[in-house]
Amino acid sequence: MYGSTAEKIEYDVYEHNEVLKEKKKYRANRLIKARMVAEILLIFTLGLILMYRYAQIADINFKISSKERQYEELRNENSRLKVAIENATNLSKITQIAQEELGMQKPDKYQIVYIEVPKTSFTVTSEQYKEDVEKDTTFLAKLVNKIEMFLNLFG
């Protein structure tokens, strides 16, 4: 022994008393059972979450495949419509319909009138617009505008 303190006696009440020993065992078993139930519930919950996630993925894949089918149908319909348009714009078919259904015919030589169209086109602007352009532009822009107007008169 070292020091002036008395030796501690190691005495466990639970070892010598059978009733207390059973209570201790019961409490330990109860904690173990509660822990096992909690772990089983946790595993069950995780399984449900996982199943829910896979159900959502399956639903999204179903929607995607449905939209892809609709897209393919629309593409096929678009192709059919393009072919129908090409068939409808066939010039020989148009002339046939014009002659048979509408009673049209090609003009004779005396019915044709030729019109001369100038090669250059020009626009006539109002005097007010010309004045506004002249007020808002610089000297160089005014000069270019005057030259353009002069050329349009003779062109």
Q: How confident is the model over 117-139, as a mean pLDDT?
A: 65
Using N-to-C axis directions, what is the helix angle for 139-154 and 127-136, rounded to 10°? 150
| Residue 23: pLDDT band with limits 50, 70, 90 | confident
| Residue 74: pLDDT band with limits 50, 70, 90 | very high
| Residue 45: pLDDT band with limits 50, 70, 90 | very high
Closest CA to 38 of 46, 50, 28, 49: 46
pLDDT attached to residue 49: 96
**What's the DSSP call for residue 8?**
P
Q: How confident is the model over 48-62, as a mean pLDDT?
A: 96
The pLDDT of residue 77 is above 90: yes
The pLDDT of residue 27 is above 70: yes
**What's the DSSP call for residue 101?**
T
Q: How confident is the model over 13-35, as a mean pLDDT?
A: 81
pLDDT attached to residue 150: 81
Contacts of residue 145, defined as CB under 8 A and 6 or more positions apart, other chains included, come to 133, 134, 137
**What's the DSSP call for residue 17?**
-
Where in the chain are the domains?
Answer: 13-97, 115-154
The pLDDT of residue 129 is above 80: no
The pLDDT of residue 144 is above 90: no
The vertex-58 CA angle with 52 and 65, nearest 5°, equals: 160
For the chain, what percent of residues have pLDDT higher than 70? 79
Average pLDDT, the chain: 83
Measured between alpha carbons, how far apart are the two ends of the chain, in Å? Answer: 130
Contact 86, 121 (CB under 8 A): no
Q: Where are the alpha helices (DSSP H) in the chain?
A: 13-16, 18-88, 91-100, 127-136, 139-154
